[in-house]
Amino acid sequence: MIQDIAPLAFHNQYRKRLPGPNDRVLIYQGESVAVFRGGNGELRLPSRGDLGNAADEDFRYLFDISGIGYFLYLEKMPRAYRNSVESVRKLRQEKNKDICYAVATGFQLYVWYRDNRYCGRCGKRTEHSPDIRMLKCPHCGNEIYPKIAPAVIVGVRDGNRLLLTRYAGRAYKRYALVAGFNEIGETPEETVQREVMEEVGLKVRNIRYYKSQPWGVDSDLLLGYFCDLDGSDQIRLDHDELETGEWFEREDIPVEDDGISLTRAMIQAFKEGETE
């Protein structure tokens, strides 16, 4: 999955430090990020040395990957980089998984910083804590931490069959699994039951945790679960959410693991009999 970057190691503890010349810089504009491509198509992120004229206060430390610091550029996209931007969402398909993971995770923090410049309680400008990753209002004391939205990905099984879905009204048309956000007052297991009933009209039992995944592009924390059909297999689609919902025999599942998403990893695990 996108977070599996071993032997490299990701360290997310906030540190108040300045970037060194070889540290990487994440420069976002909307849902795009500045990247360089070599002659062979390989990706490279700008370094602090590439932005030699920028002031040190224009950078904010985000995280570290095996000794290399990653910093957010706080100013507008420099003119020299405006023709070197690519979609944050499309970059997740690249082979350079450490860069893909850095771009996605950095984007989560970029959006959080961008959307919390002012206090939601009193409207005053927020300030960054010197010690931890937290924004604080100096006027009313409101403390704001990074947004993380828990959601479930659900593999609904019926013996040798798996339920696959397609989203309605989205550009993404590949097969997926039932999915949805955890609501107030719910355990993740209760979210599984509710989402399956809402989206496909099925009851489930034997809910069991599989794996999880941080999905920074949408500020989500994805929790993967498998469960078994309980009763009728007749699908009743919520057409506002889904275009299709179909049962597939294990050997007929038309999906392969992409090495990126939890959804595809779960489908592949079922195909290979790893969820018994």
Considering only residues 107 and 38, tell me which one the structure prediction assigns the higher pLDDT.
Answer: 107
**pLDDT tens readout for residues 140-150:** 999 999 999 99
Q: How many residues does the chain have?
A: 276
Considering only residues 168 and 246, tell me which one the structure prediction assigns the higher pLDDT.
Answer: 246
Q: What is the C-alpha separation between 202 and 184, in angstroms, rounded?
A: 22
Q: Contact 177/275 with Cβ under 8 angstroms? A: no
| pLDDT of res. 229 | 98
**pLDDT tens readout for residues 96-154:** 889 999 999 999 999 999 999 999 999 999 999 999 999 999 999 999 999 999 999 99
Q: Do 10-114 and 149-271 share a fold? A: yes
| pLDDT of res. 224 | 98
Peptide bond into 7 cis (omega under 30): yes
Burial (CB count <10 Å: 0-12, 13-18, 19+), residue 128: middle
Reduce the secondary structure of the chain to three states and give it as a string: CCCCCCCCCEECCCCCCCCCCCCEEECEECCEEECEECCCCCEECCEHHHHCCCCHHHEEEEEEECCEEEEEECCCCCHHHCCCEEECCHHHHCCCHHHHHHHHHHHHHHHHHHHCCECCCCCCECEECCCCCCEECCCCCCEECCCCEEEEEEEEEECCEEEEEEECCCCCCCCECEEEECCCCCCHHHHHHHHHHHHHCCCEEEEEEEEEEEEHHHCEEEEEEEEEECCCCCCCCCCCCEEEEEEEEHHHCCCCCCCCCHHHHHHHHHHCCCCC
pLDDT exceeds cutoff 80 at 171: no
| pLDDT of res. 37 | 85
| pLDDT of res. 274 | 84
Query: Mean per-residue pLDDT for 67-95?
Result: 90
Give the domain 10-114 fold: Nucleoside Triphosphate Pyrophosphohydrolase (3.90.79)
Q: What is the C-alpha separation between 202 and 197, in angstroms, rounded?
A: 5
> Cα separations (Å) of 266 from 17, 164, 269?
39, 11, 5
**pLDDT tens readout for residues 226-276:** 999 999 999 999 989 899 999 999 999 988 778 899 999 999 999 998 887
Calculate ∠ Cα 44-47-48, nearest 5°. Answer: 170
Homologous superfamily (CATH) of 149-271 is Nucleoside Triphosphate Pyrophosphohydrolase (3.90.79.10)
| pLDDT of res. 38 | 78
| pLDDT of res. 275 | 80
Q: Residue 229 half-sphere exposure, CB side, CA atoms within 13 Å?
A: 16
**Chain mean pLDDT for the chain:** 94
Query: Mean per-residue pLDDT for 158-172?
Result: 88
Query: Mean per-residue pLDDT for 45-57?
Result: 92
Query: Mean per-residue pLDDT for 63-86?
Result: 93
Give residue limits of the domains in the chain: 10-114, 116-146, 149-271
Q: Contact 103/97 with Cβ under 8 angstroms? A: no
Q: Contact 104/86 with Cβ under 8 angstroms? A: no
| pLDDT of res. 79 | 86
pLDDT exceeds cutoff 90 at 59: yes
| pLDDT of res. 123 | 97
